[in-house]
Amino acid sequence: MKIAFAAPTLPKTGAVAAGVLDGGKLSPTAAQLDRAMSGALTRALKSGRFKGQKGQIQEVLAPAGIGNSRVILFGLGKPKELKDLDFEAIGSSVIDRLSKSGEREVAIAIDDIAGIAVAAPQGAALCAFGARLQDYRFDRYKTKQKPEEKPSLERITVLVDDLAPARRAFAALEPVADGVFLTRDLVSEPANIIYPKSLAAEAKKLTKLGVSVQILGAAEMRKLGMGALLGVAQGSAHEAQLLVMRWNGIGKTGPGKRTIKDKSARPVAFVGKGVTFDTGGISIKPAANMEDMKWDMGGAGVVIGLMRALAGRKAKADVVGICGLVENMPSGTAQRPGDIVTSMSGQTIEVINTDAEGRLVLADALWYVQEKFNPHTIVDLATLTGAVIIALGHEYAGLFSNDDKLSEKLTAAGTAVGEGVWRLPMGEAYDKAINSDAADMKNVGNRAGGSITAAQFLLRFIKKGTPWAHLDIAGMAWSSKDKPTVPKGGTGFGVRLLDRLVADHFEG
Ligand code: BES
Ligand code: MN
Ligand code: ZN
């Protein structure tokens, strides 16, 4: 689908969409249409319940007096209450309505209306962004789709007075959508297609955007002493990989060139759990819904998509993205419950449950990133525990942190982009639950506070004084319901959140 911006001249054909304020007050474009339609829109507003309420839509088909095939009125609500996300919702809801309607083109008018806090060019860019995010589909494996099952919409034009700033704002948003889509694709691909080496190969493609990508195999990880990560991988025919991506956007003069003067400058690090399939290992999972575990690489998927977003918009920040990529399988070579592994940090871990594998992978990935890159801040993402879904459902990711300021920044970034995170407590009492009689720690506590004890485990691999946050995205990486801007399937949750965190706090 093509998205363009144009000056507000109404097209003579195709669909056209315009706003209505709370109480039924027509926007300038809607009023213009209404005049051409001899007051039909005013009459439509009188006869129905739609009065311009925010989030609602009214469609008028085959309007008389104009050449357009239909008019869509979208509710703007009260001007003062309109926020950035509302403009995304306008774009996405119009596209949702028209996508399979048979309509090929739509023009959406974003008028400059007094009292709206979001400037019209910004609103127009966000509307286009919402449309773009809504338009995503993963139908690569659908070979028998009939034409009428495919979207008809080919072109969106956002009409706005001030074109240049709208285009500029959208140019910064489009790479973020590309990042979200990359994550959605990777998460949606099945585990026979996406396994550690193929996932690393997908990330390697980011080299084109100026990301430097390094991939460590099992032998190199063995040398580094990554016994926790390798223990998880040892039951699989697929070799484990450690994916190391770097975007050095500070003082950058060209792709991949780092001209930063201050050598002591520290990057921000994002670390992802990349279990390309989680059977549970010898502590095997029940058969029902096990297919869902193809998205257990969701954390890694977000880190890869985020790197694409940051590189795509040439973020002025130094960022490291690290992903531990493994497949958790039961086999004759798989690790056993009771095995004791030595992590890269030197700490030993008694593996009580081979299904609590994500934390083992992250333990070594977290240690590696600190040893190699000395980051000023670390955020990890993982589909780590089923327990976080019990706690928060599919509305918020669990946030666990040793740093109040970082937690506040993440919470604010999440609110701004509509990707909510909710902080859960940590503390010594929870930490005790993972003490082991046989080793320095065990990889599970009891069932109580399962997401928190998992976070406590990770914290044991964070060096003192480093601000760190862990996002448990088990409930968010995949959606079984369509939501505005997020079609069902892989969501890409986390890409926008962390892109915003970087934009607001780590860019010069
Ligand atoms: N990948 C799962 C967590 C998960 C479960 C994500 C369901 C999404 C939906 C993780 O590796 C896991 O198996 N966790 C166990 C931990 C337990 C053994 C302590 C869990 O949550 O049951
Ligand atoms: Mn597991
Ligand atoms: Zn897992």
Please tell me the distance from the alpha carbon of residue 102 to that of residue 81, in angstroms, as a whole number. 34
- Return the residue whose CA atom lies nearest to atom 13 of ligand 1: 355
Ligand 1, atom nearest to 383 Cα:
6
Which of 355, 359, 491 is the best mutation target for the ligand 1 pocket, counting ligand atoms within 8 Å of the beta carbon and taking the most? 355
Does this model's pTM top 0.85? My answer is yes
* Backbone phi, psi, residue 277, to 5°: -155, 135
Q: How many CB atoms lie within 10 A of CB 508?
A: 8
pLDDT the model gives residue 262: 52
Q: How many CB atoms lie within 10 A of CB 201?
A: 14
CA dist 311 → 175, 176, 255, 305, 508 (Å): 8, 10, 9, 10, 15
pLDDT the model gives residue 8: 94
- Return the residue whose CA atom lies nearest to atom 8 of ligand 1: 474
Ligand 1, atom nearest to 275 Cα:
1
* Backbone phi, psi, residue 35, to 5°: -60, -45
Find the 386 Cα to ligand 3 centroid distance in Å.
Answer: 9
Report which bound ligand comes closest to the CA of 477.
Answer: 1
Active-site annotation, residues: 285, 359
- Return the residue whose CA atom lies nearest to atom 5 of ligand 1: 386
pLDDT the model gives residue 255: 45
pLDDT tens digits, one per residue of 192-222: 999 999 999 999 999 999 999 999 999 999 9
* Ligand 1 neighbours by CB, cut-off 6 Å: 278, 296, 353, 355-358, 383-387, 444, 450, 474
Ligand 1, atom nearest to 280 Cα:
13
pLDDT, one tens digit for every residue, the chain (508 residues):
999 999 999 999 999 999 999 999 999 999 999 999 999 999 999 999 999 999 999 999 999 999 999 999 999 999 999 999 999 999 999 999 999 999 999 999 999 999 999 999 999 999 999 999 999 999 999 999 998 889 999 999 999 999 999 999 999 999 999 999 999 999 999 999 999 999 999 999 999 999 999 999 999 999 999 999 999 999 999 999 999 999 999 964 444 444 444 555 899 999 999 999 999 999 999 999 999 999 999 999 999 999 999 999 999 999 999 999 999 999 999 999 999 999 999 999 999 999 999 999 999 999 999 999 999 999 999 999 999 999 999 999 999 999 999 999 999 999 999 999 999 999 999 999 999 999 999 999 999 999 999 999 999 999 999 999 999 999 999 999 999 899 999 999 999 999 999 999 999 7
Q: Among candidates 239, 267, 234, 491, which has minimal Cα distance to 381?
A: 491
pLDDT the model gives residue 291: 98
Find the 345 Cα to ligand 3 centroid distance in Å.
Answer: 21
Find the 99 Cα to ligand 1 centroid distance in Å.
Answer: 36
pLDDT the model gives residue 460: 98
Find the 27 Cα to ligand 2 centroid distance in Å.
Answer: 53
Find the 328 Cα to ligand 3 centroid distance in Å.
Answer: 8
Find the 132 Cα to ligand 2 centroid distance in Å.
Answer: 34
Residue-wise DSSP of 134-172: HT----TT-----GGGS----EEEEE-S-HHHHHHHHHH
Ligand 1, atom nearest to 357 Cα:
11
Report which bound ligand comes closest to the CA of 443.
Answer: 1
Please tell me the distance from the alpha carbon of residue 164 to that of residue 407, in angstroms, as a whole number. 36
- Return the residue whose CA atom lies nearest to atom 17 of ligand 1: 356
Say what angle helices 358-373 and 450-459 make with each other, to 10 degrees.
30
Residue with token string 């666990």: 400
Report which bound ligand comes closest to the CA of 386.
Answer: 1
pLDDT the model gives residue 258: 47
- Return the residue whose CA atom lies nearest to atom 9 of ligand 1: 386
Ligand 1, atom nearest to 477 Cα:
8
303 with 319: CB under 8 angstroms?
A: no
